């Protein structure tokens, strides 16, 4: 596991080359801005090592960020029963790699082109570009939706249909500010509250009640 994911290298390299170019051709002071941007891209595309405590009874947060809403739902395209949706907003300062909340197989994968409204708006899950995964195992099925925001113009996925994922395994990222929605059936007791800060692969979003 590398401390910076591969999607960040083109941004970091471009800023480094630009800093060299303007530093030698214009002034060393002119290189400050691209150098600052280079360090920001190193920070944004960071992939910190996480010790995942595997637990079949819990659903882990797929992302770092803030819980902005918890919404009861009558049903979901994949879950197909009464459920709850937890919405997590990621600012441009959060870690942006996404992790699987449970162990399971990807049984649904859909990508939707759309608009790029601010990720905190209520309707972005329907209007904005988004990518949906349906994950299931012997005990539960959940869906996870990556939603692009006003700055996020590309959703990255490392997985495909029928892939087996471990709990906490990296499956993708969204570039530059965005949000995720996790839909869980009603037999999952929600373990977070609105406004709570969460960490991908570490924070428990819910516990399965058998």
Residues 114 and 34 in one domain: no
Residues 22 and 71 in one domain: no
In a domain, 195, yes or no: yes
In a domain, 78, yes or no: yes
Burial 22-37, CB ≥16 within 10 A → b, else e: bbeeeeeeebeebbeb
In a domain, 11, yes or no: yes
Residues 109 and 143 in one domain: yes
Residues 70 and 36 in one domain: no
pLDDT of residue 178: 79
In a domain, 16, yes or no: yes
Residues 10 and 94 in one domain: no
Active-site position among 27, 100, 178, 199: 178
Per-residue pLDDT of the chain (210 residues; tens, 9 = 90+): 678 988 889 999 999 999 999 998 988 889 999 999 999 999 989 999 999 999 999 999 999 999 999 999 999 989 999 999 999 999 888 998 999 999 999 999 998 875 545 544 444 444 567 899 999 999 999 999 998 766 545 788 899 999 999 999 999 988 776 789 999 999 999 999 999 999 999 999 999 987
Residues 67 and 117 in one domain: yes
Residues 199 and 106 in one domain: yes
Which pTM does this prediction carry?
Answer: 0.85
DSSP annotation string for 16-50: HHHHHHHHHHT-GGGGHHHHHHHHHHHHHTB----
Active site residue 61: no
CA distance 87 to 122: 10
Q: How many domains does the chain have?
A: 2
CA distance 132 to 69: 18
In a domain, 163, yes or no: yes
Residues 72 and 153 in one domain: yes
Domain that residue 110 falls in? 58-208
């Amino acid at each position: 596991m590398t401390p910076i994911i591969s999607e960040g290298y083109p941004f970091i390299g471009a800023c480094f080359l630009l800093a060299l170019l303007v530093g030698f051709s214009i002034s060393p002071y002119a290189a400050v801005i691209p150098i600052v941007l280079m360090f920001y891209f190193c920070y944004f595309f960071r992939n910190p090592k996480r010790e995942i405590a595997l637990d079949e009874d819990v659903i882990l947060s797929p992302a770092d960020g803030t819980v902005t809403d918890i919404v009861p739902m009558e049903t979901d395209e994949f879950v197909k029963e009464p459920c709850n949706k937890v919405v997590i907003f990621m600012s441009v300062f959060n870690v942006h790699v996404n992790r699987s909340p449970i162990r399971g197989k990807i049984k649904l994968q859909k990508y939707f082109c759309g608009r790029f409204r601010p990720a905190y708006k209520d309707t972005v899950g329907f209007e904005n570009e988004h990518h949906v995964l349906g994950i299931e195992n012997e005990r539960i099925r959940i869906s996870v939706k990556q939603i692009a925001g006003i700055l996020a113009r590309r959703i990255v996925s490392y997985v495909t249909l029928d892939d087996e994922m471990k709990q906490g395994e990296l499956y993708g990222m969204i570039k530059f500010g965005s949000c995720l929605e996790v839909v869980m059936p009603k037999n999952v007791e929600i373990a977070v509250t609105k406004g709570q800060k969460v960490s991908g692969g570490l924070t428990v979003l819910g516990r399965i009640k058998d």
